[in-house]
Structure 1
Amino acid sequence: MLTRVKDVALLLGRIGIAVVFFAHGLQKWDSGVGATADMFSKIGIPLPGVAAFLVIVLELLGSIAFVVGFLLPVVAIGYAIDMAGALISVHAAHGLTGQGGYELVLVLGLTALALGFNGGRLSLDHVLFWRRRQGAAELQNA
């Protein structure tokens, strides 16, 4: 029973994080890659066009993958890098809390990492990879 509750809680956490990233990716998509690249250039992000494209793809497609639990560690590391970039380039100067503070990007990045490496059994990663490993381990132990 407790394991099921844990798995549902992990799924809800993944959904919550993914919704926020998806919303931010949608804002960037609506603005366009060019406008996002211009903004990235103004704040000093290297290769702003490439970075803008990659961040939009990560925040949109990565969010879908995060919800269904596919390639969780890869998406989580991407999210963490995304949020580290936002923290360093935009939010650090404003402090932890208050207008422009980095508390949200800190929580998003670190929570994504935690969920990315512990996504629970309600994930495609568990179905595709962990079950297969468990089956192989059981065959070796037999």
Structure 2
Amino acid sequence: MYARIQDVAALIGRIAVGVVFLAHGLDKWNAGVDGTAQMFEAVGIPLPTVAAVFVIAVEVIGAIMFIVGFATPLVGIGFAVVGIGATFAVHLDAGLTGEGGYELVLVLALAGLALGFNSGRLALDHVLVGRRRSSDKAAEPVS
């Protein structure tokens, strides 16, 4: 029973974190690669066009993948990279809390990373890979 609760909690966490990243990604998608790159250039992010494409892909495509539980470790790493980049490039000077602070960005980045490596059994990763691993271990002879 406890394992089911863990799986549901991981699913709820993935949905919540994924929806927030998706909302931010759709804002950047609507601004376009050029608009996002201009914003990145204004705050001093190197290779702003490459960074814009990467961030939009992670925040839109990655968020959808995260919500359904597909390639969650990879997406979690992407969320961490984007969040830590945003922390240092945009939010650090504002401090941890308050207007423009980095507390939310940091928590989202690290929650994404943690959930990426602990996505639970209610994820496509488990259906596609986890069950196969479980059946492979069950089929191994006992020494």
TM-score (norm 2): 0.96
Match status 1:115 vs 2:115:
yes
Question: What secondary structure sits across from 1:141 in the alignment?
Answer: coil
- How far did 1:49 drift? 0.5
Match status 1:97 vs 2:97:
yes
Q: Distance in 2 between matches of 1:54 and 1:106?
A: 18
Match of 1:50 in 2: 50
Q: Counterparts of 1:21-100 in structure 2 under 5 Å?
A: 21-100=21-100
Q: Percent identity?
A: 57
Q: Any unmatched runs of 5+ in structure 1?
A: none
Residue-by-residue CA offset, 1:32-88 (whole Å, 9 max, x unaligned): 110100011111111110110111111111011001100000000000000010000
- How far did 1:5 drift? 1.4
Match of 1:141 in 2: 141
Q: Distance in 1 between matches of 2:133 and 2:48?
A: 40
Question: What secondary structure sits across from 2:140 in the alignment?
Answer: helix
- How far did 1:141 drift? 3.0
**What value does the CA root-mean-square deviation take over the aligned residues?**
0.8
Q: Distance in 2 between matches of 1:104 and 1:34?
A: 26
Match of 1:7 in 2: 7
TM-score (norm 1): 0.97
Q: Any unmatched runs of 5+ in structure 2?
A: none
Counterpart of 1:117, as a letter, is F
Q: Distance in 2 between matches of 1:112 and 1:141?
A: 37
Number of residue pairs the alignment of both structures matches: 142
Runs of 4+ in 1 over 6 A off after TM superposition: none
